[in-house]
Amino acid sequence: MSHPFDTLTPDLVLDAVESLGFLSDARVLALNSYENRVYQVGIEDSEPLIAKFYRPHRWTNAAILEEHRFTFELADCEVPVVAPLQHDGESLFEHQGFRFALFPRRGGRAPEPGNLDQLYRLGQLLGRLHAVGAARPFDHREALGVQNFGHDALATLLDGGFIPGSLLPAYESVARDLLKRVEQVYRETPHQNIRLHGDCHPGNMMCRDEVFHIVDLDDCRMGPAVQDLWMMLAGDRQECLGQLSELVEGYSEFHDFDPRELALIEPLRALRLLHYSAWLARRWDDPAFPRSFPWFGSERYWGDQVLALREQLAALNEEPLKLF
């Protein structure tokens, strides 16, 4: 069976960009992206542009435009973010059935794991992001929750037959125990949902000319503020305590942080584990996924997942991280 992205050829990419009045130099470089398709397109006598083609049927137009508006809102508040380009007042375009957006090219390097000075500056940036994000809710983008990231993810894996039969009982048992514990912690932990980046791993916080900027808000959604902080931490518990202190100190200069949300770090990590496996399963009809993730479906992968979920269940029963 063909996949919608099969018809997204280099010629179509060039035609889409040129349909907005740009003159390309015919150079197209595919960039590392799985959920969407992203290309660097050379432009005559100018800097290259980044063309992002959205995965069909994933987001509604309203949800994509809400992402764009959030990005423009951040830029208007001088939060360093890579915002889509506008043409005739529009930022979302369509060409031969594909929705796409154009962005300026903005390179950089990811932060160094555990670098305390960088974590303080990243905290400042996230505090500025959340100060804007807390001003109003999203109307068209889902919230991060136990149902969609946990129970729905598990249902995808169980119903799709992705887990080898020899490991299915063990995986299902530990996943259900994990979700019960996650639900309990969620119920017991006061938290407020705000607009988030949503997928704030270090690769989406790039440094250029000693300034960090935010990229790729494709997964922005409502959720607890700590979701955008915990993926900045690396190392053992003692290392994470020091890193967390620097991160929140910088964050608090621009937005208040409720330390009670720290109890949600391990539940959110658990949901990400489940959601990642379900994401691979849901995208398996895209030929790029079997090529890039050939180990998915192997007994070794699912054996490792059983172990990871058991370790995560143990982590949920430990004392949450606390600020110094």
**C-alpha span between 289 and 159 (Å, rounded):** 19
Task: Look at residues 224, 130, 229, 141 and name the one whose alpha carbon lies nearest to residue 182.
Answer: 224
Distance CA 259, CA 215 (A): 26
Concerning whether 216 is annotated as a catalytic residue, the answer is yes
Q: Out of 88, 139, 199, 285, which one is annotated catalytic?
A: 199
Binding-site residues from annotation for Mg(2+) = 204, 216
Q: In 10 A of CB 146, how many CB atoms?
A: 18
Q: Which of 11, 216, 236, 304 is catalytic?
A: 216
The amino acid present at 11, given as its one-letter code, is D
Q: Residues marked as binding?
A: 204, 216
- 3-class secondary structure for the chain? CCCHHHHCCHHHHHHHHHCCCCCEEEEEEECCCCCCEEEEEEECCEEEEEEEECCCCCCCHHHHHHHHHHHHHHHHCCCCECCCCCECCECCEEECCEEEEEEECCCCECCCCCCHHHHHHHHHHHHHHHHHHCCCCCCCCCECCHHHHHHHHHHHHHHCCCCCCCCHHHHHHHHHHHHHHHHHHHHHCCCCEEEECCCCCHHHEEEECCEEEECCCCCCEEEEHHHHCHHHCCCCHHHHHHHHHHHHHHHCCCCCCCHHHHHHHHHHHHHHHHHHHHHHHHCCCCCHHHHHCCCCCCHHHHHHHHHHHHHHHHHHCCCCCCCC
Q: Which tokens in the block code for residue 73?
A: 């809102």
Indicate the length of the chain as a whole number: 324
Catalytically annotated residues: 199, 216
